[in-house]
Amino acid sequence: MLKFRLASMQDIPSMSSIRLSVTENALSNPGRITRQMYEEYLELLGRGWVCELDGKVVGFSYAEKADSSIWALFVAPQHEGKGIGKGLLNLAVEWLFDHGANEVKLSTAANTRADHFYAAQGWLRLGMKNDIDVGYSLKRPDYPVV
């Protein structure tokens, strides 16, 4: 059974392992994402969540408050297609909207499964940010007054 919860310092080794295991959006320089960055996004710069399956972390997401963006969303390759990414994305987006964001942004490598995933979740594809990454945006839904 999947369990979603806030990430903690103890989850950082698992999150780092997942980040380094992905085949798409792989880091060209694994040292670029440091433990300090994981720590700062847990509370100082935003918030992080993990998904556990049978007590093992199998995915994580991070929301950055200052620019209302998704800093990270990764699922262990052997656990893709189980709804983990969608659940983690929803937690991050809801947190940003609850903290005043009117729009959430992110970027991912173009023409990847992640690119198609965000489009399928209803995000607006903004176009290329550089030679590799495409931007996405999701606006806060308007709630009609009843």
Q: Where are the alpha helices (DSSP H) in 27-106?
A: 35-42, 84-98
Question: pLDDT digit string (tens) for 82-92?
Answer: 999 999 999 99
pTM of the model: 0.88
Task: Looking at the chain, list the stretches that DSSP marks H as alpha helix, in order from N- to C-terminal side.
Answer: 12-21, 35-42, 84-98, 113-120
What would the CATH number be for the domain defined by 2-101?
3.40.630.30
Residue 62 in contact with residue 47, Cβ under 8 Å?
Answer: yes
Domain borders along the chain are: 2-101
For range 110-139, the mean pLDDT: 89
Q: What is the DSSP letter of 13?
A: H
pLDDT in tens, 34-45: 778 888 888 788
